[in-house]
Structures are given as structure tokens and as C-alpha cells.
Amino acid sequence: MQIPDYRKSFPGSPLAVAYGGGVNSVAVLVLLAVSRQRPDYIVFADTGCEHPRTYEHIKTVISPWLRQLSYPAITVVRGRKKNRHSLYSYCFSQTLLPSIAFGSRSCTDHWKVRPQRRWLKDQPPVQLAWQEGKPLVTLIGFAADETHRIKRPRSRRHAYAYPLADVNWSRQHCINAILEYGLPVPVPSRCYFCPATPRADVRQLARDYPYLYRRAVKLEDHVIASGRLKKLRGLGGRWSWRTVHDDPPPPQELA
């Protein structure tokens, strides 16, 4: 496996990892560690409502591992919209479901991409590189089976690289690499009330974190009561998160 040398490809440019806390982000760090490429920044945009296990994985697994590698610590940044400091509080105040419920990714743009870019542009080494005509290089963890999400625009100030796609790693390759490296695999990176959550994971959330499940259902009820949902039945799109309690128990719980 030939891992590109991003320092050679972009000489003198600052190197940043857009860290999401999930499988792909960890796999990017594993690739960098294996190829002995040290990033300048690792930036995690916290929506204020990530899954609890994502926070735990960062605190107990990734942060100590980065210290062992002498890599920079994860910088946590926060988005903000209409004076709201979490995606949940924004959705509730505006009587909205997260945009992904409607097939859009604007919540990712506003609460993930933009906060990272805002923080990075204020860093003196990045500003110095721009003065010298060198772009900030951001490494993004889109896997080889997500090529439809990959864009390679390059401007005077920004360049983007996709290490997982460059080495043709699918999501399963990422999982295997994390395990082979000796790290535990993180849960999918998403908010605890993300509409993209599979039904089985919603049931798991209700069992493990009933308070967060109730908050998600409270938002769902709030939006439904407003009459704004025309074609959707709730956070699950065609189904309501409230209905997961009507599901039969998983087979292992019937034994």
C-alpha cells in the first residue's frame, strides 16, 4: 500500500485533519501514524450533542494515543447559529428537524465544516502560509466507497486531500485497520438525534441513554405539533422515533 506523502505534495503548507470522531476519522489518523506524517492540527467540531460514546472514545482512547505519538491534541471547536450553541437547541428554537431528514447536509456545513474553517483561518502559521501563497491542506476522511462526496477544489488558500480514497480503503478496510492497529472501533459519528440513525441504534439509545432518547422524542413531538412536517412522520422519516418502544425485543432479549 502506497500512502501519499502530503508534505511532499504540498511543501510548506500547514496540514490539518478534519476529525469527526468516527471510523473514517480514526482511520485517517492511523494512516498518518503508519506513514509517519505528523499533522499540524486535528480539529473536531462539536455540535454539542454528539453521541456520548464519541466523547468517551476521544477522551479515553484517541487523546492518550495522540500524546503517545507526540501528535497535536484534538482542538474542539463549536458552531453557533442564531445565538444557539448546540444543534439541538437551534433545532428546538426554530422548530426544525436536522436538515438530513430532508435530504440536505446543511447541518454538517454549518456545525462541522464552517467552525473548523473559522478556527483554522485564525491560526498564525496558516495566515503566514497564505501570505507566502501556500494553501492550508485539509485531510478529510471520505472512504473509497463514498467517492460521490469527494470534491477536489483547490484555491489559493485551500486544498483538500482524501487519504482513505487515495489508498482505496472502504469503510470495512478502515475498521480492519483500526483493529489491527490495536485501537477500539468508535461508534458512527453523528448526533444522538440524527435522522440517519438506524432503527436498531435508536432502540439501543433508548436502552443505554434514556434521557437522550427522551430529548430526541421531545424535539420530534415539538416539530410534529407545529404542523410543519408534511411528508415525514418524524425523525426517522417514514417512522417516528417514539414508535421504537412498539418494536419487539431483539432475539437475544427473548432468549
Query: Mind listing the pLDDT tens digit for each residue in 104-126?
Result: 888 888 899 999 999 999 999 99
Q: Average pLDDT of 9-29?
A: 96
Q: Which among 24, 27, 39, 23 is positioned nearest to 1, based on CA atoms?
A: 27
Amino acid 255: pLDDT: 35
CB 16 within 8 A of CB 120: yes
Q: Is 132 helix (H, G, I), strand (E, B) or coil?
A: coil
Helix (H) or strand (E) holding 46: strand 41-46
Amino acid 254: pLDDT: 38
| Least confident among 72-76, 200-204, 246-250 | 246-250
Residues 4 and 153: their CA atoms lie apart, in Å, by: 18
CB 174 within 8 A of CB 22: no
248 compared with 189, residue with greater pLDDT: 189
pLDDT tens, residue by residue, 140-183? 999 888 777 777 666 789 999 999 999 999 999 999 999 999 99
| CATH tag, 6-181 | 3.40.50.620
pLDDT tens, residue by residue, 46-95? 999 999 999 999 999 999 999 999 999 999 999 877 667 899 999 999 99
Q: Is 74 helix (H, G, I), strand (E, B) or coil?
A: strand
Global pTM?
Answer: 0.90
Residues 255 and 247: their CA atoms lie apart, in Å, by: 16
Domain ranges of the chain: 6-181, 199-246
Q: Which residue do the cell numbers 468508535 mark?
A: 186
DSSP secondary structure of 139-185? E----GGGGGG------SSEEEE-HHHHTT--HHHHHHHHHHHT-PP
